[in-house]
A and B are shown apart, each in its own frame.
Chain A
Amino acid sequence: MSRANYSGFAPLVLPALLLNACANIPADRGWVDVRNSVAAHGQEISPSSNDVTDTARAATTEKLLAQPLHFEDAITLGLLNSPQMAAIYAQLGLAGAEVLQAGRLSNPKLSGSFGFPLTSGGAGFGFGITQDFLGLLFLPARSRLARADFGRAKATAGAAVMQLAAGIGHSYYLAIEARQNAELLALIEQAADAASTYAQALFDAGNLSELQLDVQKVASAQAELDAEDAAAERDMARLQLNREMGLSATQTEWQLAGGLSLPIAQEDDAQQLQTLAAAQRLDLQAAQAELAVRQAALAFARSTRWLFNAELGSDYARDTDRDRSAGPSISLALPVFEQGQSRLLRAQAEVELAQAQVDELRIDISNEVQSAIEQLKHARHRVDLLGTRLLPLRQSIVEQTQTRANYGLLGVFEPLQAKQQKYAAEQGYLNAIGDYWLARVALARAVGGRLPSDAQIGAAQTGIESFKPLMDQPRSIASAAGPSSQSSGENTAQPAPSRQPAANSQHAHSSHSGVSP
């Protein structure tokens, strides 16, 4: 290239460079915007692997794992450690790259040629530089679209964070439920073992037949098998949560805090949740952004229908006779065969597709919210039925059969059997409460943010409590009569006291007094 002559095309390139200066993305790829957005939806990210060094991340993880894990701890850990967070950040990078790319002209194309004359004389050469003219012309519009699309990418990233958190919450409740279920089945096993041991003692004394003994022994063996199944489920659920918290299999030395708590006092208004979901779902916002981008693209395609591949160029040639020629060149495609129909149709179809996706998502969201509300309602009702009717009756039957056994009217097998049936009812109760909290997670997911009623769970309360102390106490304890000396009777582990007094009122115990089983 001749140094003396390149100034001939410089005026064409410079404006493009200036244009490029307007199309940058933030250094954090918009991550802070994502964080603020999910925080506005109730999900703080404090912090993520995108915010801290690996050393700090490891330190925070270690500190959290040292304490029994509450609901929020599990989510914090997941958002801190899950590689999905890094993937979300990477996706932002990809979207950012698109913005950068859209904001810059494609690099000019340099072409050169050497010519060897057929006659004697020196060789000649020439070169040219061309720039996509339309690209230059469309640059501001393309930048605008790309920036809009980056907004979509951030909404998508926020939605992904919310999904990730909801998934962790789901696994957390499953893990708690599986753990408590295993505890209950271990208690059933314990009761069946007591009956079997008693039967063995009677058999050894010559008072029971082998058949009567075997009936008890087989029940005990079956209970042990059931407990083993439940323990396996517990371990699997625990590992699943481990995985979702972004922990490796070597990091499983953590404990879950407490047990599932009773439903909150007052659920959210259904209509309010629908309105909230329609307004705040980040994936809906992403789909709407996508639609807006497509609509703008369509408008742009319409306004530039008649412009086709145009190239603006600068040619320079020097012939062997040392004559030089230089000057701008333009090439335009003639709209003979292609008049922009395909470009318009494609843009139109993409608008329609984006619109359809928005419409479908709206319907999905509305139904997801409703479905979660129904699940929540039915789970609550089951919790209520079990807590106010089934369990008190099961407890009463335990007490009554115990009274009769102590009075010589029944053998001890009957209260042991009744106790196992009570545990089985508690299993149902646990399952209903688990379903309730899973439904709340599903509802939060459907609404696209934390539920307003989460506030009722309480500041110190992290969404989990144990209901076991309530169930194992004689019913008279929970009544207004106040504490009783009978409450220390149970041998089962006593988890932390309830921090959710409002929920206790759900659990209407009869004031009927009875003997502790």
Chain B
Amino acid sequence: MENLVPNPAAPKPAGNRAPVQTPNGRSLPYRLVNGVKEFHLTAEEIDHEFAPGCTAKCWGYNGSTPGPTIEAVEGDRVRILVSNHLREPTTIHWHGLLLPNGMDGVSGLNQAPIKPGETWAYEFTLRQAGTHMYHPHADELVQMAFGMMGLFIIHPKASADEPAIDRDYAMLLHNWALHPGTYRPDPAVMLDFDLWTFNSKIYPATAPLLARTGERVRLRIGNLSMWNHPIHLHGHRFWVTGSDGDRWPRSAWIPEVTHIIGVGQTRDFEFIADNPGDWALHCHMVHHTMNAMGHSVPNPVGAKLAEADAKIRSVLPGNMSMGSDGMSEMADMAGMMQGPPNTVPMMSGNGSFGSIEMGGMFTVLKVRDDLAADDTRDPGWYRHPPGTQAKLVSFDPQFALGFARDKPSDS
């Protein structure tokens, strides 16, 4: 094991390439065997925590979901040993990689399945770069619903990206049918998922992404869920610089603030973290930034509930009728109330100004002027310089400027 590389970041790779960071995850160590980078993935059942108060029996690799990120360099010969500790056969498909047909991992099509207890070797030479993924291609519906997936990142053979990347983050999007009160995802669900995750974590358990002001940040995002996700970054404009088809020519880069990452796709975003602060980074499907919630709950907004409430409480003294003014109350109450077992509030998280009212695919990009290059500790909430923050100007509900309040005209 003397050749084991515990973290590719430790001996900094050739050139100035930044190590890939998998928030809430890690990269997979390898050993060099006669010039071949040898990795070992073990498919197994795991106990996974989506956030404190919400755990489940999931399936993953090497004790986690997503499995560890495989990092290698274009041109490397890799050998990936796959041990099956599940009670059913599996395979691994190297999603997006250019490789011999017999290494592609589709059970029955390209190989016989890896039976429980067996270890198989996949071996091929990397002929491309970019952000890729791996996942099973045997009983795929169940095994992916349970969380079997990982990122496969191939660095370009060239010594460095141009311009150089200072922070390189990688995230995998997924959805889970972990119904309230249950402890194992439900593979039968096609649409009504309960949890939406960045690297199998729901906000507020998603780790923040850090950057020092002025650093060039790359965000690699792969989608192995069953929905498309418009990923939106606040306070910055990013370029979409790459996909499963490797880094795009600069002329093809797209400046955006929101970019849809389709099912089975990967995208690389790059941006200069030139705007200090705490910036939301999230999927823009609003239900995807919620945790488990009722999708067929009668809508109470705008209803006059006084009489009904009195009657309901006479039957159900513990009833908390909420929502006639909107659902914010839910987030405020959620922290105080006991939900069903193993179920976190649909929205929560507290910032320095109150409830953040988010869940699911949400995290915070923290840009700071004074962050050391290798500092990965959470710097806490941003302190806004004077004059750079919205402020209260009136308590008067009838507040108006010197002219009539702007309204649509009657026509």
Contacts and interface: CB of A to CB of B under 8 A. Distances in A.
Interface of A: 187, 190-191, 193-194, 197-202, 204-208, 212, 398-400, 402-413, 415-416, 419, 489-491, 515-517
Contacts of A212: 298
Interface of B: 180-181, 292-294, 296-305, 307-308, 311-312, 314-323, 327, 330, 333-334, 337-340, 343, 345-346
Given A202-B298, A408-B293, A419 B315 contact: yes
Contacts of A202: 298-300, 303
Contacts of A207: 298-303
Contacts of B337: 403, 406-407
Contacts of A399: 318
Nearest to B323: A408
B10 to A, nearest CB: 44
Given A197-B308, A201-B304, A411 B318 contact: no
A403 B339 contact: yes
Given A201-B307, A207-B299, A409 B340 contact: yes
B361 to A, nearest CB: 19
A491 B314 contact: yes
B308 A200 contact: yes
B320 A191 contact: no
Contacts of A419: 315-316
A194 B327 CA distance: 22
Contacts of A516: 317-318
B316 A415 contact: yes
B317 A404 contact: no
Nearest to A399: B318
A402 B298 contact: no
A212 B299 CA distance: 12
B177 to A, nearest CB: 14
Contact of A515 (B293, B301, B333, B338): B338
Contact of A408 (B307, B316, B346): B346
Most buried by B among A194, A404, A408: A408
Contact of B318 (A204, A206, A489, A491): A489
Nearest to B314: A491
Contacts of B308: 194, 197-198, 200-201
Contact of A194 (B180, B311, B346): B311
- The 5 closest A-B CB pairs, nearest first, are A489-B317, A194-B311, A205-B303, A198-B308, A407-B339
Contacts of B327: 408
Q: Which of B315, B321, B330 has the most CB of A within 10 A?
A: B315
Nearest to B337: A406
Contacts of A416: 312, 315-316
15 contacts: A198-B312, A201-B305, A204-B303, A207-B300, A400-B181, A404-B340, A405-B320, A407-B334, A407-B343, A407-B345, A408-B293, A412-B312, A415-B319, A491-B314, A517-B319
Contacts of A194: 308, 311-312, 314-316
A78 B75 CA distance: 104
A337 B311 CA distance: 92
Nearest to A216: B298
A188 to B, nearest CB: 10
Contacts of A204: 303-304
Nearest to B347: A408
A409 B299 contact: no
Given A194-B308, A408-B330, A517 B316 contact: yes
A408 B294 contact: yes
A206 B338 contact: no
A413 B312 CA distance: 10
Contact of A409 (B294, B316, B319, B321): B294
Given A402-B316, A402-B319, A515-B318, A409 B293 contact: yes
A409 B180 contact: yes
Contacts of A199: 298
Pick the most buried of A191, A205, A400: most chain B CB atoms within 10 A of its CB: A205
Nearest to A192: B315
A401 B215 CA distance: 50
A420 to B, nearest CB: 9
A193 B343 CA distance: 31
B58 to A, nearest CB: 22
B186 to A, nearest CB: 15
B96 to A, nearest CB: 38
A506 to B, nearest CB: 26
B292 to A, nearest CB: 7
Nearest to B311: A194
B311 A193 contact: yes
A202 B315 CA distance: 19
A405 B317 CA distance: 13
Given A193-B311, A489-B318, A198 B305 contact: yes
A205 B292 contact: no
A344 B322 CA distance: 93
B180 A490 contact: no
B307 to A, nearest CB: 6
B311 A406 contact: no
A490 B317 contact: yes
Contacts of B345: 407
A412 B305 CA distance: 12
Contact of A206 (B302, B315, B321): B302
Nearest to A208: B298
Contact of A411 (B294, B302, B315, B346): B294
A405 B319 contact: yes
A210 to B, nearest CB: 14
Nearest to A472: B317
A425 to B, nearest CB: 15
A193 B297 CA distance: 19
A319 B340 CA distance: 122
Contact of B311 (A190, A408, A517): A190
Nearest to A492: B314
Contacts of B343: 407, 409
Contacts of A201: 303-305, 307-308
B18 to A, nearest CB: 41
Contacts of A198: 298, 305, 308, 311-312
A399 B308 CA distance: 20
B212 to A, nearest CB: 39
Nearest to A491: B314
A416 B316 CA distance: 7
A194 B314 CA distance: 9
Contacts of A197: 307-308, 311
Contacts of B314: 190, 194, 491
A198 B312 CA distance: 8
A474 to B, nearest CB: 9
B56 to A, nearest CB: 17
Given A408-B346, A416-B316, A515-B338, 15 more contacts: A194-B312, A200-B308, A202-B298, A204-B304, A207-B301, A207-B302, A399-B318, A406-B333, A408-B294, A408-B322, A409-B294, A411-B298, A412-B298, A412-B316, A517-B318
A187 B180 CA distance: 30
B65 to A, nearest CB: 24
Contacts of B292: 409
A187 B339 CA distance: 27
Contacts of B300: 202, 205, 207
A403 B315 contact: no
A357 B1 CA distance: 101
Contacts of B318: 399, 402, 406, 489, 515-517
A491 B315 CA distance: 7
B303 A406 contact: no
A187 B315 CA distance: 8
A159 to B, nearest CB: 50
